[in-house]
Chain A
Amino acid sequence: MTTPTSAAATRREAPAPPGLWTGAWRVFDLSIGQMLWSRRTVFMALVVGLPVVVALVLRGLVIVGAQPFRPPATGPIVFGMMIWGFFVRLAVPVLAIFYGTALIADEVEDRTITYLFTRPVPRAAVLLGKYFAFLVCTVAVVLPAVVVLWLLIVPIDGRLSAAFPALAADLGIVAVGLAAYGALFAFVGATLKRPLLFGLLFVFGWEVFATALPGYLRQLTVAHYLQALVPHAMPSDGAVAMLQMVFRDTPGLVHSLGGLAVITVVALAAAARRVTRREYVLEH
């Protein structure tokens, strides 16, 4: 028979369930390795490795004495175009779609979501932990590729010293873009049944259409705020780019960063709320 005092002592010794951030950290610790050593990372490495291969070829041309760029194109200009045309407009949204939509959807598909939800951590912590694992994983692959590209391309008819501020800005833009797109697609993945299709339609349909139109529709895109951070690299060839140029209403730096922060926080909060409240039915 236990006395009331010893019962109270036993209650005190029972470990309290982890809070939101402790739980998120545990899920992050578990997920980062799974994400990093998955087939998706191989796909990501191939995507961001492509411009590095192109840069290596260009360096090879320089070594053999060829002039890889036609004036007035220089290394810094080509690097800026690659950041704009490849990373900001293609790689960042595509990687965010493939990783972000899969954060919860993959667990549901593999029917492993039950194991996560039966752990003594808040459901929102599962989403947050997986989101931060996605962010660290993508940033750890994409940013080194940008740096290597910069080191290879910029010295061709350019100077690293002059192009350094652009590199610092571009690294920030890529990281911020991954965070914003990732949060948005985490919400999409937690909400929709076909998140991948929606993500592709959003990036390559809605965003292209809305940013080319005058008015306020463009403010409902991530690209509007992200593109404003890199106006120097915006190409003006092509019909869509011309339309975007004609109707350009570039927000300022604070407005852009504020917009991206709002998108990230609101999308993450909505995704966490959705994961907390939703009853996931596992199909057999």
Chain B
Amino acid sequence: MTPSTRKFLFGSALVVSAGLCTGLVAYYSGALPGRAPRTEFSYIPADVSAVAFADVRDIMDSEFSQRVRDAVPTGAEKSRLLAETGIDVERDIDTVLAGISGDGPGGPLVVMRGRFDVSRIEALAVQHGARQEQYGGRSMLVGLSAQAAPQAPAEGYVPSLAFLDDGLLAIGDAGALRKAIDVAASGQDLATNPDMMRFVAGVQGSGNAWLVGRADQVARQPQVPEQFRSQIEAINWVAISADIDRDVRGMIRAEARDEESGQQLRTMVAGALAAARMFGEQDARLAAILGAVQASGAGRNVELSFTVSPTVLDLIKTAAHPPTPALPEPVVP
């Protein structure tokens, strides 16, 4: 081996070792790199039972969204949020990330990225009874009116808002917001939950809206009916993703507790799908929807993929607003 070859191999080993040592030090100290975390994920605690994401801008601009808007005119909730906080969902928000906790009064923590008029939001919130507070170097508005909250008020729930970063705003319970700020500072965020991140990475990029959650924590909720609980208990994780564009292409994936449960779940899903197809063949809308549903999976996994085409939406729209029958022509004597 020539000296130049030896030097090259030594240099290569040095680069790899330096990278691994840097990573190792960072891993055990949790302090590197120097730049502060800036993403929405940095504020979601590692112990949430579910996390959901929506690229609001992409969805709002999609052709499918326009059709839904025509079919189902809404606006009450949107107007209420606009009146309470000055946030226009369609105009101001780009993405929404929600972390849902399985227990406690915290409720969901909703982190929104977009363009926010801070002074206007503060003025409106204070006008509606909120008080300003500083926590962990972030400005918070504590005690918003219940209408602005992302969930129905529960005991101990204090609807609040926090300006986390430039273009990053969070809504949720005051305690949950304070915890989110602490989480971002300590680095103990969602990224430190490898089980959930495995599923999050699987659905990221597969659509403009997705949800990942621990099914067993959902099963523990008292409001879940007993007959569903036994089914859910066989599932560990659920991941749902949807790509909303001209049509909606979605995928629901469940990871069962073990291979036997996975097999049972696949059989159950296939049976339910076959039964639904049999009973739904008389209804053109239902038949069209069910025709685009495919069940698959292996081992512990069960997958259900579906497509809702514009044609199906037109069928639903027609059913919701049936065309007015033409009046009979007057008989001229």
Residues of A within 8 A of B (CB): 29, 32-33, 36-37, 71-74, 76-77, 80-81, 136, 140-141, 143-144, 147-148, 150-151, 155, 157-165, 167-168, 171, 231-237, 245-250
Residues of B within 8 A of A165 (CB): 27, 194
Residues of B within 8 A of A33 (CB): 1-2, 4-5
Interface residues of B in 278-309 (CB under 8 A from A): 294, 296, 298-299, 301, 303, 305
- Complex CA–CA separation, A73 to B205 (angstroms): 8
Smallest Cβ distance from A168 to chain B, in angstroms? 7
12 additional A-B pairs beyond A33-B2, A249-B299, beta carbons within 8 Å, are A73-B204, A73-B205, A143-B12, A147-B15, A158-B37, A158-B39, A160-B26, A161-B26, A161-B32, A236-B206, A246-B305, A250-B299
Sorted nearest first, the 10 A-B pairs with minimum C-beta distance are A147-B19, A164-B23, A144-B15, A140-B12, A160-B26, A236-B206, A161-B26, A164-B27, A155-B33, A232-B201
Residues of A within 8 A of B296 (CB): 246-247
| Residue B94 CB within 8 A of the other chain | yes
Smallest Cβ distance from B16 to chain A, in angstroms? 5
**Interface residues on chain B, number (Cβ under 8 Å):** 54
Residues of A within 8 A of B187 (CB): 159, 161-162
Interface residues of B in 200-220 (CB under 8 A from A): 201-202, 204-206
- Complex CA–CA separation, A249 to B1 (angstroms): 45
Name the residue on B nearest A69 (C-beta). Answer: B39
Q: Are B8 and A168 in contact (CB under 8 A)?
A: no
Q: Are B22 and A160 in contact (CB under 8 A)?
A: yes
Interface residues of B in 1-24 (CB under 8 A from A): 1-2, 4-5, 8-9, 12-13, 15-16, 18-20, 22-24
User: What are 17 A-B pairs with beta-carbon distances under 8 A?
Assistant: A29-B1, A71-B113, A147-B15, A147-B18, A147-B19, A151-B19, A155-B33, A158-B39, A159-B30, A160-B23, A161-B30, A162-B192, A171-B16, A232-B198, A245-B251, A246-B296, A248-B301
Residues of B within 8 A of A76 (CB): 191
| Residue B173 CB within 8 A of the other chain | no
Known: A74-B39, A140-B12. A164 touches B24 (CB 8 A): yes
Interface residues of A: mostly helix, strand, loop or mixed?
Answer: helix
Smallest Cβ distance from A41 to chain B, in angstroms? 9
Residues of A within 8 A of B23 (CB): 150, 160-161, 163-164, 167-168
- Complex CA–CA separation, A99 to B327 (angstroms): 80
Smallest Cβ distance from A260 to chain B, in angstroms? 19
Known: A33-B2, A232-B201. A150 touches B26 (CB 8 A): no
Residues of A within 8 A of B38 (CB): 157
Smallest Cβ distance from A162 to chain B, in angstroms? 4
| Residue B64 CB within 8 A of the other chain | no
Q: Are B12 and A144 in contact (CB under 8 A)?
A: yes
Residues of B within 8 A of A235 (CB): 205
Smallest Cβ distance from A88 to chain B, in angstroms? 15
- Complex CA–CA separation, A76 to B33 (angstroms): 13
Residues of B within 8 A of A248 (CB): 298, 301
- Complex CA–CA separation, A74 to B97 (angstroms): 14
Known: A71-B94, A72-B40, A248-B301. A37 touches B4 (CB 8 A): yes
Residues of A within 8 A of B31 (CB): 161
Partner of A71, one of B12, B24, B39, B301: B39
| Residue B321 CB within 8 A of the other chain | no
Q: Are B19 and A36 in contact (CB under 8 A)?
A: no
- Complex CA–CA separation, A155 to B36 (angstroms): 9
- Complex CA–CA separation, A148 to B18 (angstroms): 10
Known: A32-B1, A33-B5, A159-B26. A246 touches B303 (CB 8 A): yes
Smallest Cβ distance from B233 to chain A, in angstroms? 23
- Complex CA–CA separation, A128 to B230 (angstroms): 57
Partner of B16, one of A143, A157, A160, A246: A143
Known: A71-B94, A140-B8, A246-B303. A148 touches B15 (CB 8 A): yes
Known: A71-B40, A159-B26, A248-B301. A140 touches B9 (CB 8 A): yes
Residues of B within 8 A of A164 (CB): 23-24, 26-27
Q: Are B191 and A159 in contact (CB under 8 A)?
A: yes
Smallest Cβ distance from B79 to chain A, in angstroms? 26
Q: Are A160 and B94 in contact (CB under 8 A)?
A: no
Residues of B within 8 A of A71 (CB): 39-40, 94-95, 113
Q: Are B298 and A249 in contact (CB under 8 A)?
A: yes
Residues of A within 8 A of B35 (CB): 155
Residues of B within 8 A of A167 (CB): 19-20, 23
Residues of B within 8 A of A73 (CB): 204-205
Name the residue on A nearest B27 (C-beta). Answer: A164
Smallest Cβ distance from B333 to chain A, in angstroms? 66
Residues of A within 8 A of B303 (CB): 245-246
Known: A140-B9, A151-B22, A249-B298. A232 touches B94 (CB 8 A): no
